[in-house]
Structure 1
Amino acid sequence: MNAKNPIGALPLALSFAAAYVVVAGAAGYLALDARSPAPASTAAAAVTLPVITTTTTATAPPSAPPVPATTTTLPADLRPVDAPGGLTTAIPAGWAVTTGTVATTLVATDPANPRREVRLGGAPVTDPAVSLLDRITAAAVEREREPGHTRLGLTGDRIRDFPAVRWEFQQVESGATEKTAVAYWETNGIEYVVYSSGPAEEWDQTRSRLAALIDHARP
């Protein structure tokens, strides 16, 4: 994929295309068009990501020795990451991370095949009077006006009991067919987005990466 459209809600979703930015919250749009800017002569510097660790200390009886703190661990093929908007999740270990073309989104790319990528972030909802589903639907309609773009599915959902939307689509980039799975959810005035894209023949793996992004995401 290239520095193409964003993937967020209208703002997030629409920001992938200039038209999108005007419609909704900034995260979704941002995701759609948040690819890393193309390098001029040198590659963009990778973002140094803070390591997220969670510790829990048990309260022991007065006469008992303190219980050592335990650290939450991730599968060996994942690593924690902090994204804009207060979003935390886990991405494939070893993937290069850069800021996207929009400040509210990070982009992680597989060094073995840059067509495999994930995007993630969060941004304030710009028009809370419009539902998340309506914002993403409007963004999808805009995207579908582009040649080579086909909707595979778009449905309302719940993620950790927050209003959510799942959007899947197929697009042709430089003669190669790619499939993308995106999830949006909204809470406390922030729209969050996680996005996974890859070659059409790797659709199962692409969707599995999205599932991991959602499962490890907070909030």
Structure 2
Amino acid sequence: MAQQLAFDLPPRRSLGRGDFFVAPSNALALAQIDGWRDWPQRKLVLVGPEGSGKTHLAHVWAAETGAEIVPAAELPLADVPALAAAGAVAVENADCIAGYDAAEAALFHLHNLVLAEGGRLLITAANPPARWSLRLPDLASRMQGTSTAMLDPPGDDLLAAVLVKLFADRQIAVPPALIPFLTARMDRSLAGARDLVARLDAASLASGKPVSRALAASLLAAG
């Protein structure tokens, strides 16, 4: 039998408030995002590992505040005064710019402009500001003086909800028993859940078989 062609189509991402599953690992961070009107100095750093929900929460906040969202690495090419004029800005992956002088300078400029104009600033990162190794002292001091919200490692309930959402984003129907089977055996992270669903989707397309426990067991056994 000829192997079925696999088309690597991008999944439909759902980043609305109703798509965010609240669990003990993220409830406090969500509450801090919801309390944006009371942020000390009108700014917050949202910290969590890859795939933990930082981007989702940034979009939830942007939908409520009308904020612009920009990756920190793109700030040197951005119109910083125009961003600041939006009144609210979310800067993603800020710890990735350490040592990139132009990006550090642009973030420092944006930080000062947003706050000077009475706006709000949300910054996401994988690590707390004290671990960013920034070379610009004034930026380092301002980031380390910013309140921090932490996304904790996910429990089974959150992993299960994320798996269901990721399969739905790819329009894949799976048997309900597959979800607890996966949560008991997968890498215990949201990034791991995303990778596992992508691999199952690819294996299903390549083999012409639906996503099932047997397919998942074979994939997990292969490593």
**Common fold by TM > 0.5:** no
Q: Into which bin does the TM-score normalised by the smaller protein fall? A: under 0.3
Q: Structure 1-normalised TM-score?
A: 0.25
Normalised to the residue count of structure 2, the TM-score between the two structures is 0.25
Instruction: Answer 1 or 2: which has greater helix percent.
Output: 2
* Structure number with higher strand proportion: 1
Higher CA-based Rg: 2
| Greater relative contact order (CA < 8 Å, ≥ 6 in sequence) | 2
